[in-house]
Each structure stands twice: as structure tokens, then as C-alpha cells.
Chain A
Amino acid sequence: MRIMKATFPHLLHLDVALGILYPTLGIDILPPPPITQKTIEIGVKLAPQNACFPLKVTLGNFIEAIERGADTIFMVGGVGPCRFGYYGQIQRLIIEDLGYDVRFVLLDHPRYGIRPFLEALWTMAGKTFDFPRVVRAVRLSWSILRFTEELEAQRRALRCQVENPGALDAIVDETLETLRDVETMEELEILNQRVKEKLLSLPKKEKDGFLKVGIVGEVYIAQEKRVNFDVEKLLGDLGVYVHNSVSTVEYILHTFRPLTRSRDKMEAWRLAKSYLKRFVGGEGIDSVGSTIRYAQEGFDGVVHLYPFTCMPEIVAKGVLQAVSRDFDLPVLHLAIDEHSGEAGLVTRVEAFVDVLERRKRRRKVEVDS
């Protein structure tokens, strides 16, 4: 039997966590090269024209990984009604028709057959019987995934506050690289402490009352800065404190409910109820709920990021018009796809921040007088 070289789609720093997990499970992995313009071009060329953007980018990931020697693809399915649950089927068809000799391992919901589910799980989990070791590896990679998200949260929150954002980026990026070699929870804890100290020691601007903007939207586009033109950085450089309500950790916790639960998401769903009565697939209801939460927490504005034509987010967009009106909270909708241009996006974000600044100043005047 040949040795399996498995690949998987990128989602921000997922490859760091999986890079820790898989060697322990005895599976050789070959993560796709980082997402570039080329990845997007490959995906756009091969995917159905009107498919949503994440399908195209992840397809580009697969092709680039295959060309570098991967022979097995790990992908997950879903139960709908969002298109994501059908990505794997379409991508498999395309890769088959291209004539690549690869194995497509699709982990789908058990409702589509318990046997394929177990087979896929078996392949993805490797054949290690050293359970304590596996449990340790899962725990470590899960903590690492959490840690990468904390790092990004620090980065977006601190960017507007520090004197030199370049130094901030250097610390975060360096830590992300170091993370790939972490082997135990103790090492992770030490790294965590060291980063905290470093971040605390960064010289801060002597300013207060930053504009606060929350990010809501679809789980892939709202996080993957390599395709969303790094909106977070853009906002931070304009002097805005940024919070992102979208997180892979919460997404996974929510997916495995009721075994695990995400308090954030449950809260968002509860808040959204009076505007969007039910789950409409993807993160539609989360976007609505998180926007309401940002309004209650006194944020100045919300940026809604989603792939162009995303069905759940379009429903959310319609509903957000009412939320925005009722809570008097400006919402900027940014649909991203292969035709999005950076210049246009930058202009819109800058204009949005101008609007927020002016609103804030006017309010201050009203309060003072």
C-alpha cells in the first residue's frame, strides 16, 4: 500500500492545528500552499461559474496540493440548506473529470449513511490505537486552534491602540510560526505567557475613545484574510477597534451540539429570534444576532462580510436592514468574490469609517450641549 499524503482546505490557521494533530495520528499531511491570486484563478476556472466563492478557493487549494503530491483529500459535508454541505460532491466531480488519481474522503452527516460516515471517519482518524496519545493530540490541537484565534483577536483589538502596528504583526506572526513546533500543553502555556507579556509591553498611543466596529458574516469569508482583503487590518489602520464575532472554534462547537455548545452562538440565536425566526442555513441567523449584540454593547458600526450570492447571508442582509434601522446602527455589507477589487473595497471601508466618525462627533456635541 502506498503511503497516503492527505490534504485539506485552508481556513485561516486551521493548518497549524491540523499540522499538530495529524502526525500523531500517523497520517502524512501536505497542506495546500498559502492562498494566493493563483489559487483563486485555478478555482474560478474549474468551478461552476455561479458557485459561491469559498467553493472556488478551496477547490484551488485542492488542485495546488494535488500538484505538489497530495493523493488524498479530506473534506467535510453537511445537511444544508446552505450550499457548503454540497461542496464536496461538486469538487469530487470536478476532480474526477480532470482525471486526477486522488482519493476523496468526504466526512458527511451520518444521516446520509452510517457506513460511509464511519469509513470516512476511520480514514481521517488514522489507525492509531494508542488512545491516550490521540486524546492528548486532539486536546493540544484544539487548544492551539483556540490560541490562534485569541492571537488574531488580540491583533485586531490592539492594532488601533499601538504606536507601531508593524511590531504587533511581527509578534503575532512569529508566534503563529512557533506554534507549529509546539509539542505539549506546557510549551503552549509558556508561549501564551510570553506573548501576553510582549503584547503588553508594546508602546500604546495616548488616545481614548476609539471607534468600535464588529464583524459579522459567513464563517469562511469573514475570517480568511487572504480573500477578504484583510478588512480587519484596514479598519485597524484607520484607527478602529475591531471585534470579530465569527470563529472556527465556535463554529465547530455549535456543529456538534448538543454534545458541545457555543454560548456565543446560542446567545446570538436568541437575540435574532424577533427578526429572523429560524435557522436559514450557514451563519445567516448568527449575523443577525451578533449585529444586535454589537448594538447592545455600544459598537459604532458593523461590517457584514459574505461571499457574493451566499443564500443565508442575503436573507440576513435583508433582515439586517430592519435591525440597522431599529437600533440606529450603520451596517456595511461587503460581498466578496473573484471580481472584488481592493481599491473599491478600501474606498467603501474608508467612507464607512468617516460616517461613523461624524456620527460619533455629532452625538458628543449633542450630549455636551
Chain B
Amino acid sequence: MRVGIPRGLLFYRFFALWKTFLEELGVEVVISPPTNKAIIHHGLVYGVEEICFPVKVFLGHAYSLLSKVDALFIPRMVSFHKGEYNCPKILGLPDLVRSLFRVDAGVLIDDEVNMRDRGMRGWWEGFLSIGRRFTKNERQIGEALKRAEEAHLAFRKKLQEGWLPENIIDGRLPLPSREKKVVLLGHTYLLSDSYINMNLVRKIYNLGYSVITPDMVPEREVRSALKALPKASFWTISNEIVGTAFSFLEKERPEVRGFVHLVSFECGPDSLVGEVVERYTKRKKSSFPYLRLEIDEHTGEAGIVTRLEAFVDMMEWRNAHHESYLPTSSAP
């Protein structure tokens, strides 16, 4: 049986886990090619017009796989952290694919993985129900999940060493480290798809900076920094973004010169937590540079470049003057 995994959204987080799990169960895994113009085009044609750009890209990937595989692997990742949720669009993703492409329910592997209330039990039950589609042997599923989790941990470890998911997936070496750094905040599926983010990491590198992404910060630090909020949000990935930013507001890291927050125009969670990051940054380090870059299918590369260059100039200037009370521009 050939099962396709669309290269989008949570794929960039669970690539190793999903692939290993399916392969351990004897499934042939097909991953859609890196995002290209045709994929985006299909996503735009079939997607709901106002849905966020990454979902459109995901839909394009799903479409590109439809004719090539027996089933699409779109597990309903309701929650992968206790007490939290994913965004509604991820919750409804399998239903969206089903409705928009008019595919049969049988073509989708859409079992629910939900750790919100039941923690690891929900996790196990989700994967058990996926595994049952391929084998009746529960022990084999358990073994496969164990291997998959090991692969996932190895993957996460590599991310903390400075690899981006797309480097690992496509076997490309990451860019060498630079002395000066910016914290690049945002969802992994934006930061790690260099086609849709217009090679942002490379652009920042060429301007003389390395990036630190939320994936590179240990989860413990992220979660403990998040405690500064009276109530953290209920979206896991957005919480990680806020926690990452907060962890850099607390500690003095002179090589870290600013925040760049990459958001997609329609992103609901980021529209609120972005505000939290921005306001807390102003409160705690009043002049710490913060840039919010919004992208969607209409974004022009020139605009991004101009804003990045201006931002880098500002960071350099601020650093040269060694003053911390200089005003900074804020995102609109």
C-alpha cells in the first residue's frame, strides 16, 4: 500500500515520527515534492479563498499526491500537548480535504490524536487506531510507535543543534553559524519551507546573521519562560513562539540582536500572540528590535528584502551606539 504524506503544516514537525511509524508497519511512504509554483497554484484553486497561506500550500501538496497514492496520511492532530489545542484549521484539516477535493472518506487516514485531556493515552490511542488500518497485531503497532518516537527524539535533537527541518528532510547541510544572531519566531511550516518564505533564512544569513528558531530552544526553557503570562494561550505552537521570545527577554545574550516574527497573513493564533510578544518586548526591553513580517500568496520578494535590510541597519546602529533606550519602530 502506498500512502502519501503532504509536505506541509505539521509534516515539518512530525516528519520523522510519521514516516518511521508508517514504514515500520510495512507501508510505502510517498512524500510530496518540495513546494513549487504548480503546487501553490492548485492550493489556491481548490482552497477556500480566505484560509491561511500554509493551509493552501498544504492543500496543493495533498492534491499533487491524490492520483499517485492509495491513501493520504492526514492524521487529525487535535493536540500534542496536555491541556492545549492546535488551531481549528488543523483540527478540521481532513474534513477540508474531503470536502474540497470530493474524495472518499476511505482515502484519508484521518484518525484523531488528542492529548488534550488524556495525555499520553490519547497519543497512544490515536496511533493505535492508525496502525489498525494496516495490521491487527497490537504489539507490532506498539513497537512501530516506539521506533517512531525514537526517530522523533533524534530529529528534535538535531533541530536543537541548529538544523532546520527541511535540511534534515532533504539531506542538505545547514548554513554555518554566524556570531550575530536574530531570533526567528514563527511556525515551523513557514520557517522551514524556503519556497514560501522566499529563502528567508538564507537572506538573513547573507545580511550577516544566524537565526535561532523556536525548535532550537530546549522545550524546558520555553515552557518555564511562558509562566510569565497570567494565562498562556491554548495553541501549542503559538505558546512555543511566545515562550521562545520570553526566554530571550529574560536572559542577557549579547549576540542576540533582535526578533523577526514571520507570520502568515491569515494566521489566527499568531494575530493574538504576536501582540503579546510585541507588548511584552516593549515592557521588558523597551528598545529591543522586533520585526513582524507577514507573508501570503501575494507577498513580493522585494518588499521582504527592503524591510529586512532596514531592520538589519537598525540593529547595527543600535548596537554601535550601545544604548538601550533608543526608540524602535514597531510593526503596524
The answer to whether A and B assemble together is yes
> Chain A residues in contact with chain B, CB under 8 A?
48-52, 77, 79-83, 85-86, 89-90, 93-94, 97, 108, 111-112, 275-282, 284, 308-312, 314-315, 317-323, 335
**CB-CB under 8 A for A48 and B91, given A79-B234, A81-B85, A83-B268:** no
Q: How far is the CA of A51 from the CA of B332 in the complex (A)?
A: 13
Q: By the criterion CB–CB under 8 Å, are B265 and A276 in contact? A: no
Q: Give the nearest-CB partner of B271 in chain A.
A: A50
Q: How far is the CA of A310 from the CA of B87 in the complex (A)?
A: 11
Q: How far is the CA of A279 from the CA of B267 in the complex (A)?
A: 19
Residues of A within 8 A of B47 (CB): 318
**Ordered nearest first, which 9 A-B pairs have the shortest CB separation?**
A80-B234, A315-B92, A322-B99, A50-B271, A81-B85, A311-B88, A48-B275, A281-B88, A311-B268
A-B contact pairs, 19 of them (CB 8 A): A48-B275, A49-B271, A50-B294, A81-B86, A81-B235, A83-B272, A86-B231, A89-B229, A93-B276, A97-B282, A277-B95, A308-B50, A312-B92, A317-B48, A317-B50, A318-B95, A321-B48, A322-B100, A323-B99
Q: How far is the CA of A319 from the CA of B276 in the complex (A)?
A: 32
**CB-CB under 8 A for A80 and B48, given A275-B99, A280-B92, A322-B102:** no
Q: By the criterion CB–CB under 8 Å, are A314 and B275 in contact? A: no
**CB-CB under 8 A for A309 and B271, given A318-B51, A321-B100, A322-B99:** yes
Q: By the criterion CB–CB under 8 Å, are A93 and B100 in contact? A: no
The winner among A81, A93, A111 for most chain B CB atoms within 10 A is A81
Q: How far is the CA of A320 from the CA of B268 in the complex (A)?
A: 20
**CB-CB under 8 A for A111 and B83, given A80-B235, A89-B230, A90-B275:** yes
Q: Beyond the given A89-B229, A277-B110, please list 17 additional residue pairs across the A-B interface where CB-CB is below 8 A.
A: A48-B271, A52-B268, A80-B84, A80-B85, A83-B272, A85-B234, A89-B276, A94-B279, A277-B95, A281-B91, A310-B268, A312-B88, A314-B51, A314-B88, A314-B266, A315-B92, A335-B50
Residues of B within 8 A of A314 (CB): 48, 50-51, 88-89, 266
Q: How far is the CA of A48 from the CA of B271 in the complex (A)?
A: 7
Q: By the criterion CB–CB under 8 Å, are A319 and B88 in contact? A: no
Write the nearest CB–CB distance from A189 to chain B, whole angstroms.
42
- Tell me the number of A-to-B contacts counted with CB atoms below 8 Å: 133
Residues of A within 8 A of B282 (CB): 97
Q: How far is the CA of A97 from the CA of B231 in the complex (A)?
A: 17
Q: By the criterion CB–CB under 8 Å, are A318 and B100 in contact? A: yes
The 0/1 profile, CB within 8 Å of A marked 1, for residues 225-241 of chain B is 00001110111000000
Q: How far is the CA of A282 from the CA of B87 in the complex (A)?
A: 12
Q: By the criterion CB–CB under 8 Å, are B272 and A321 in contact? A: no
Q: By the criterion CB–CB under 8 Å, are A276 and B92 in contact? A: yes
Q: By the criterion CB–CB under 8 Å, are A319 and B95 in contact? A: yes
Q: By the criterion CB–CB under 8 Å, are A276 and B95 in contact? A: yes
Q: How far is the CA of A108 from the CA of B96 in the complex (A)?
A: 31
Q: Give the nearest-CB partner of A47 in chain B.
A: B275
Residues of B within 8 A of A323 (CB): 99
B112 within 8 A of A: yes
Q: How far is the CA of A27 from the CA of B100 in the complex (A)?
A: 51
B43 within 8 A of A: no
Q: By the criterion CB–CB under 8 Å, are B88 and A280 in contact? A: yes
The winner among B51, B229, B231 for most chain A CB atoms within 10 A is B231
Q: By the criterion CB–CB under 8 Å, are A321 and B269 in contact? A: no
**CB-CB under 8 A for A89 and B235, given A318-B99, A321-B99:** no
Q: By the criterion CB–CB under 8 Å, are B234 and A81 in contact? A: yes
Q: By the criterion CB–CB under 8 Å, are B51 and A51 in contact? A: no
Q: By the criterion CB–CB under 8 Å, are B233 and A51 in contact? A: no
Q: How far is the CA of A284 from the CA of B170 in the complex (A)?
A: 37
Q: How far is the CA of A308 from the CA of B268 in the complex (A)?
A: 10
Residues of A within 8 A of B98 (CB): 322
B245 within 8 A of A: no
Q: How far is the CA of A50 from the CA of B235 in the complex (A)?
A: 17
Q: How far is the CA of A321 from the CA of B274 in the complex (A)?
A: 32
Residues of A within 8 A of B76 (CB): 277-278
Which residue from B96, B112, B275 sits with its C-beta under 8 Å from A93?
B275
B182 within 8 A of A: no
Q: By the criterion CB–CB under 8 Å, are A311 and B276 in contact? A: no
Q: Give the nearest-CB partner of B238 in chain A.
A: A86
Q: How far is the CA of A195 from the CA of B106 in the complex (A)?
A: 54
Residues of B within 8 A of A77 (CB): 231
Q: Give the nearest-CB partner of A320 in chain B.
A: B99
Q: By the criterion CB–CB under 8 Å, are A275 and B95 in contact? A: yes
Q: How far is the CA of A275 from the CA of B265 in the complex (A)?
A: 27
B4 within 8 A of A: no
Q: How far is the CA of A317 from the CA of B231 in the complex (A)?
A: 30
Q: How far is the CA of A97 from the CA of B280 in the complex (A)?
A: 10
Residues of B within 8 A of A279 (CB): 91
Residues of B within 8 A of A277 (CB): 76, 94-95, 110, 112
Q: How far is the CA of A317 from the CA of B282 in the complex (A)?
A: 37
Q: Give the nearest-CB partner of B97 in chain A.
A: A318
Write the nearest CB–CB distance from B73 to chain A, whole angstroms.
16
**CB-CB under 8 A for A311 and B87, given A79-B234, A86-B233, A319-B99:** yes
Q: By the criterion CB–CB under 8 Å, are A48 and B48 in contact? A: no
B29 within 8 A of A: no
Residues of A within 8 A of B279 (CB): 93-94, 97
Q: By the criterion CB–CB under 8 Å, are B265 and A50 in contact? A: yes
Which residue from B91, B229, B266, B294 sits with its C-beta under 8 Å from A315?
B91
Residues of A within 8 A of B85 (CB): 80-81, 281
Write the nearest CB–CB distance from B56 to chain A, whole angstroms.
11
Write the nearest CB–CB distance from A220 to chain B, whole angstroms.
15
Q: How far is the CA of A111 from the CA of B231 in the complex (A)?
A: 11
Chain B residues numbered 202-249 whose CB sits less than 8 Å from any CB in chain A? 229-231, 233-235
Chain B residues numbered 282-317 whose CB sits less than 8 Å from any CB in chain A? 282-283, 294
Residues of B within 8 A of A319 (CB): 92, 95-96, 99
B148 within 8 A of A: no
Write the nearest CB–CB distance from A192 to chain B, whole angstroms.
39
**CB-CB under 8 A for A48 and B272, given A81-B234, A86-B233:** yes
Q: By the criterion CB–CB under 8 Å, are B234 and A284 in contact? A: no
B44 within 8 A of A: no
Q: How far is the CA of A323 from the CA of B267 in the complex (A)?
A: 25
B128 within 8 A of A: no
Write the nearest CB–CB distance from B169 to chain A, whole angstroms.
27
Q: How far is the CA of A124 from the CA of B157 in the complex (A)?
A: 48
Q: How far is the CA of A279 from the CA of B78 in the complex (A)?
A: 10
